[in-house]
Amino acid sequence: MQTIFIVGAGTMGSGIAQVAAQSGFSVQLFDIAAQQLERARATISGNLDRLVKKEKLTAADRDAALARIETVTQLDGVAAADLVIEAASENEALKLELFAKLDALAKPEAILASNTSSISITKIAAATKHPSRVIGMHFFNPVPVMALIELIRGLQTSDETYQKAEAIAKALGKTPVAVKNSPGFVVNRLLCPMINEAIFALQEGLASAEGIDEAMKLGCNHPIGPLALADLIGLDVELAVMQVLYEGFKDPKFRPAPLLVEMVEAGKLGRKTGEGFYRYDK
């Protein structure tokens, strides 16, 4: 049985842990906060219980998956892992420091992957002494539902690393798409400017928030409108990605909408604060 060590027990890390355990991998889920690990295990358990109730999973398979997940507050388990997936905060300095540590702890044949949505894989790899084994594995939220993994090659990523990561992605039941290292990769490079343009349209009074969202749902068959999606993602996250695109390409087409900047400054970040382009009951 292959072992996956996951760094960070937030929404993405816990989702990756669930999928890996359901797929038969032995999982160690790391976080510095024990309370976060407790929340992650409760979330995973709840998700699996719902699958059992919907008869998409047997009780025995649920119990087996939970038994394959060990929660830890130390990085010692990295030494035995075949794949290390970093799903920590989207902070460049933190990731560079973390990958230097992971590189020193991991066995030579292990793959070091980052779930980053915006930070350069080439830059992350350069923080290690074995950059050829570093790759981006960008999962999408909610991980148990979304089929895509963007597999991002840094300048140094070896063919062997890519092939191993691709095989594991498929073993997780996901569909990997090969992507070159570039700001925003594929999905965020296309999605976030669309959301940003919807904010420009609202700012200019082209239509109401409800009108813009309804038009995109009915006219483009989107399951959710771009402004409601921005609220779901978090306006601070949307702004951060737009800033990465703007700085990375130096192209004015990626400039963040002034209304987006103002909303973030006002602390109206969407669902997580109870108000964004819409109001939410906490």
Active-site pick, 23, 117, 118, 196: 117
Active-site pick, 47, 138, 181, 196: 138
Contacts within 8 Å (CB) and 24+ apart, 12-15? 12/87, 12/115, 12/139, 12/141, 12/143, 13/40, 13/85, 13/87, 13/88, 13/115, 14/39, 14/40, 14/43, 14/44, 15/139, 15/141, 15/142, 15/143, 15/144
Total number of residues shown for the chain: 282
Q: How far apart are CA 62 and CA 245, in angstroms?
A: 41
Active-site pick, 23, 188, 196, 238: 188
Closest CA to 42 of 34, 104, 81: 34
Q: How far apart are CA 196 and CA 260, in angstroms?
A: 8
User: Is 109 part of the annotated catalytic residue set?
Assistant: no
DSSP characters over 186-198: THHHHHHHHHHHH
User: Is 150 part of the annotated catalytic residue set?
Assistant: yes
Detail the DSSP E strand segments found in the chain. 3-7, 26-30, 69-72, 83-86, 111-114, 134-139, 148-153, 175-180
User: Is 138 part of the annotated catalytic residue set?
Assistant: yes
Active-site pick, 114, 150, 181, 238: 150
Catalytically annotated residues: 117, 138, 150, 188
